[in-house]
Structure 1
Amino acid sequence: MLKLVVNNDLHVNKKDTITCKNSCDLFDEITGECSINQGVDIDSPYEAARCGFFIHRDSMSVPEIKDHTHFKFSLMDDIDDDLLDDQEIFHQLVGKSIYKEEYTYPLKPDFSSYRDDAKWFVSPCGSYGCWIVNHYKKPLSIPKSKDVAERGWNNRVYKSPIPLHDHQSALPISSKMAWLIDEDGFGQYALLVNGKISSISAPKPINWKRH
């Protein structure tokens, strides 16, 4: 039996609704858009609920994310008080974006990756860059294009040691983006927060199988 639930409360404060615009720290006040997913409905609670990049402004930690990839996502506990004196580290811990007077991106990262296994990459066209974090143990050849690369479970997930498409992130977080290659050789974009992989763009479905 289906029930229609109607909310007759006409006094609901829209400011209390969790949306990208009201609640997410990745909302770009300058452009009026999400820093990662341009064109998304910033006033939709549904979009905020389904977004894998959502970082609540009131959160002082990055929640543990469990998905069906081989990556381990860590909850940052016991933060050293000395770290909070560093503005960059503090803002990364709470998911804040730092606006600088001058940016070196994409030629050089504006923020450290805080990882020993991350290397900075600049696209051949010089228009975008990201960190490369590779968990694949075998050599990978670079496909001629994204269209001919071996595709994974999403059109933004494919086998390549480097990204072949721009992540198109807002400038304040572009230096925190990484091309994350899993243990099977499939790469996708992820967001680094204080060296931790806090979000990935397309978690692997449980029932996905290689063709």
Structure 2
Amino acid sequence: MNLKLVIDNTSNPGFAKNEEIKKLKTCRTHCFYFDGQSGKCGIFDEINLDDPKTVHRCQRFSDWREEDTEEVYELIEDGFSVEFEDEDFLFELSGDKYSHENSTYPLKPDFPSNREDSIWYISPDNSFACWVINKSKKRFVTVNSNKSVEIGWSKRIYNSPYPLHDHEASSSLKSRMAWYVDEQGWGQYVLLVNGEITMISEPRPQNWKNGL
């Protein structure tokens, strides 16, 4: 009779850690926009394809379903927690053509939103502009500054039908930015490409509920 030594690798802490890493969604493993042939994102330039924080801002995974299109706040998974406050979420579009000389921003958008539910908003001082997509049916009180609004899961997420701070996007992206207000009234900046929300600034954690 021959005896075989069987080693249970699942009890090894290193093995468990590697398995946990494999389960994390990244642009390279799950993103709808990832191009396997070139090894690059098909939409954005110079992004970290293996950073989970990047993919959780993206709106299209390989397991994307049609009904997920507007669920821009519920894509973050249970147990995944990350601070987005000091992270940039805007990336330059691959092959984007933009003319500084012919730009009409902020008075008029340089690119159409390709959405019927959006309007072009210009800040009172004409310093910035963006599209506004409001899905909320709640009544908003008049707001004059970010000190008078209810803050959400980030200081850049708040209850307001229009933005109170500049998105600070690059020139080629300024006319693709939108202030998206969900059904509960929480607003944040998103990036529009061909009428679709392709990137959001700070996903709402599933365990977040009015700051609890």
TM-score class, shorter: 0.5 to 0.7
2:53 to 32, 50, 55: 50
Give, in angstroms, the shift of residue 3 of structure 1: 3.0
Structure 2: distance between partners of 1:172 and 1:154: 26
Q: Which residue of 2 aligns with 1:165?
A: 165
Shift of the 65–177 alpha-carbon distance from structure 1 to 2, 3 Å rule, reads farther
Shift of the 151–135 alpha-carbon distance from structure 1 to 2, 3 Å rule, reads same
Unaligned runs of 5+ in 1: 6-17, 28-33, 35-41, 56-60, 74-93
Q: Is residue 2:208 matched to residue 1:208?
A: yes
Superposed counterparts of 1:190-201, under 5 Å? 190-201=190-201
Give, in angstroms, the shift of residue 2 of structure 1: 3.4
Q: Which residue of 1 aligns with 2:185?
A: 185
Superposed counterparts of 1:45-194, under 5 Å? 47=51, 49-51=52-54, 52=56, 71-72=70-71, 96-100=95-99, 101-194=101-194
Shift of the 63–144 alpha-carbon distance from structure 1 to 2, 3 Å rule, reads farther
Q: 1:53·1:199 contact (CA, 8 Å) conserved in 2? A: yes
Identity %, equivalent residues: 39
Instruction: Pick the structure with greater CA Rg.
Output: 2
CA deviations over 1:50-106 (Å, ceiling 9, x no partner): 224569xxxxx986768xx99347xxxxxxxxxxxxxxxxxxxx8642221421111
Q: Which residue of 2 aligns with 1:2?
A: 13
CA deviations over 1:148-168 (Å, ceiling 9, x no partner): 310111111100111000110
Structure 2: distance between partners of 1:132 and 1:63: 28
Structure 2: distance between partners of 1:109 and 1:173: 10
Normalized against structure 1, the TM-score is what?
Answer: 0.61
Shift of the 202–126 alpha-carbon distance from structure 1 to 2, 3 Å rule, reads same
Aligned residues: 155
CA RMSD of aligned residues (A): 3.4
For residue 3 of structure 1, give the secondary structure of its aligned residue in structure 2.
helix
Structure 1: distance between partners of 2:195 and 2:185: 21
